[in-house]
Amino acid sequence: MIDLNKDVKYVKGVGPARVKLLNKLGIFTLKDLITYYPRTYEDRSKPKYICECEDGEEVLIEAVVCSGLTNVRLKGKTMQKLMVRDETDSAIITWFNQDYLKTKFKVGDKYKFFGRVSKKTGKIMFNSPVFDMKEKNQNTGRIIPIYPLTYHLSQNNLRKIMEVAIKEVYGNLKETLPEYLLKECQLENINNATKQIHFPDEFKDFNIARNRFVFEELLSVQLALLQLKNNYMNEEKGIQFKKEAKMSDVINTLPFKLTKAQLRVLEEIDENMESDKPMNRLLQGDVGSGKTVIAMCAAYKTVKSGYQAAIMAPTAILAAQHLENFKNILEKLNIKCELLISGITKKKKEDILKRLRDGEIDILIGTHAIIEDNVIFKNLGLVVTDEQHRFGVKQRTKIAEKGKNPDVLVMTATPIPRTLALILYGDLDISIIDELPPNRKKIETFAVGKNMTNRVNNFIKKQIQQGRQAYIVCPLVEENEEMDLKSVETLYETYSKEVFSEYRVEYIHGKMKVKEKDSIMERFKNKEIDILISTTVIEVGVDVPNSNIMVIENAERFGLARITSVKRKSGKRRVSVLLYFKI
């Protein structure tokens, strides 16, 4: 079996100078070399006739040298010029400062040239193409790998080294995947895959090889995550919450019925919390599916078991909204909730921190302020992070470290297919709320172009006249000369003074002070604003059920997760989301 850990300097063609260059690329061993994959490929396998060449395209031609190589001096440079011909036409080949080429060409012999075509005054020209003798395929006549490089290391040199390495290992690599998996998933074996990923015979062969290595990489990540999870579950004892602390106490006080999906998820969480294994669970559900009430029930069980709960939200607006929802339900059950955000006064913050240390606060809801060192819980048992993609791993870990192996629940509204979620969050158990509450209307989304502007504006006016409100979302705060995109401030001027001058128009963006943003959102919630123009700062903002229209300008600038998260909760009414594309 081949020794993949041998120093790369022992590979044929690698001298002392090239070892240093390869080391700069992170290549120290034979294994490093053969797993240094190309960044792209050039198809130099299919020749064209010279008469078929188009200006600007990269092509391969096979042509006979008509005359000897000539040198032309141009302002301190030398230009090498060669005339070639095939059965259809002739072409001029040029290089600069390549004096060594004078011994490379023989009149009457056929060569292969690959490069970019330039057509000038009816003449076909190639500038600095790569070339081979007709019977050779070093630089042409096949699909050529293009590697990331470092200074002084050429593609040609690295390809030669790679070819030697692939010949050395081919047939000697030990298979890393079991035979049944190769057959079941129709994966290429490791020897063929390694050869084809570097030097594919056809592009389909590259894709087959790539599929094998992508599968293996994702499988390795998944197995590593599962191993970490198993180690964590086996080594660490978690909190065993009381069976007598019933989530049904909360459920029975709710002014609405939970869906079957919510009840199923609560059962999974309840089972987690009553075991002595620490809970580490991802809760995924669409906007309005009822994730908050799940967190509320889990927090109630935590408190009734003698522990405290921390709820962390990405913005002060969302944290305040959570506090209001929690208080409306849990205060009736003698649960004390408090809000900790950066905008509160120093005196109030000191009071909250003291009561938290003394155990007088059962549930602390807040933003990043919760993870500060001076925030000390008496007995933290549950950590919930909302809109989990807004927090880094270190932030989530830091708040969890404020307790002794507390249960962790992370929530997201970003749509993630289960298979992808298992890869991204392999160390988490996954619960999905796949059912919306009854009477909740589906969000209707339409893609429109600028030719429909008048119709959209008339639709907005009609809805406002019926007492509704509208969001307008823009990608920029201010106008930018380099980008032809709608900005909040520009649109506000147009809407407030021209298009919707008879209505109450306001704008909000992330550069504003927290108090100013909160004031505007509160006015919008209280129906004192008809149209709110905003950046995506409102994506985790206050729920405004009366708003049933959202227009997203330059939607091509936003990703799926962001578009999804800005869609508001809609109460029992239909919501229309209009995606404006620059068409």
CATH number of residue 385's parent domain: 3.40.50.300
**Residue 219 in domain:** no
**Residue 232 in domain:** no
Examine the domain organization and report whether 520 and 545 are in the same domain: yes
All residues at 6 or more sequence positions from 382 whose CB lies less than 8 Å from its CB, including other chains: 298, 299, 302, 307, 308, 309, 310, 406, 407, 408, 409
**Residue 279 in domain:** yes
Q: What letter would DSSP give residue 280?
A: E
Residue with tokens 């062969």: 205
pLDDT digits (tens, 9 = 90+) for 528-564: 989 888 876 665 555 677 777 888 887 766 655 454 5
Examine the domain organization and report whether 463 and 507 are in the same domain: yes
Q: What letter would DSSP give residue 437?
A: P
pLDDT digits (tens, 9 = 90+) for 384-436: 988 655 555 556 667 778 888 898 898 887 666 555 655 566 667 788 888 77
d(CA 471, CA 459): 13
Examine the domain organization and report whether 470 and 509 are in the same domain: yes
Examine the domain organization and report whether 424 and 400 are in the same domain: yes
Examine the domain organization and report whether 265 and 310 are in the same domain: yes
Chain centroid to CA 243? 40
Residues of the chain with pLDDT under 50: 480-484, 561, 563, 565, 568-573, 582-583
Alpha helices in 406-507 (DSSP H): 418-424, 453-465, 488-494
Per-residue model confidence (pLDDT) at position 480: 47
All residues at 6 or more sequence positions from 18 whose CB lies less than 8 Å from its CB, including other chains: 153, 157, 161
Work out the angle at residue 359's Cα, subtended by the Cα atoms of residues 356 and 362, and round it to the nearest 5 degrees. 80
Examine the domain organization and report whether 289 and 349 are in the same domain: yes
Per-residue model confidence (pLDDT) at position 181: 92
Examine the domain organization and report whether 524 and 568 are in the same domain: yes
Phi, psi of 505 (to 5 degrees): -115, 135
- Residue-wise over 359-372: b if at least 16 C-beta within 10 A, else e? eebbbbbbbbbbbe
Per-residue model confidence (pLDDT) at position 380: 93
**Residue 333 in domain:** yes
| Whether the Cβ atoms of residue 79 and residue 93 lie closer than 8 Å to each other | no
Examine the domain organization and report whether 372 and 260 are in the same domain: yes
| 316-330 vs 514-525: helix crossing angle, rounded to 10 | 50
CATH number of residue 113's parent domain: 2.40.50.140
All residues at 6 or more sequence positions from 244 whose CB lies less than 8 Å from its CB, including other chains: 304
Per-residue model confidence (pLDDT) at position 358: 93
Examine the domain organization and report whether 411 and 451 are in the same domain: no
> N- to C-terminal Cα distance for the chain?
59
Per-residue model confidence (pLDDT) at position 194: 93
Examine the domain organization and report whether 425 and 552 are in the same domain: no
pTM exceeds 0.85, yes or no: no
Per-residue model confidence (pLDDT) at position 566: 52
**Residue 4 in domain:** no
All residues at 6 or more sequence positions from 116 whose CB lies less than 8 Å from its CB, including other chains: 56, 57, 58, 126, 127, 129
Domain ends where: 433, 457, 483? 433
d(CA 47, CA 87): 13
Domain ends where: 99, 117, 141? 141
Alpha helices in 199-311 (DSSP H): 203-235, 248-251, 260-274, 291-304
Q: The domain containing residue 379 runs over which residues?
A: 248-433
477: its two tokens? 């705060």
Domain ends where: 433, 462, 480? 433
Examine the domain organization and report whether 420 and 275 are in the same domain: yes
**Residue 18 in domain:** no
**Residue 329 in domain:** yes
Examine the domain organization and report whether 342 and 258 are in the same domain: yes
State the pairing for strand pair 40-43/123-127. Answer: unpaired
d(CA 523, CA 501): 18
Identify the three-state secondary structure at position 533: strand
Domain total of the chain: 3
Bridge partners of residue 448, in order along the sequence: 580
All residues at 6 or more sequence positions from 66 whose CB lies less than 8 Å from its CB, including other chains: 83, 84, 85, 90, 107
**Residue 388 in domain:** yes
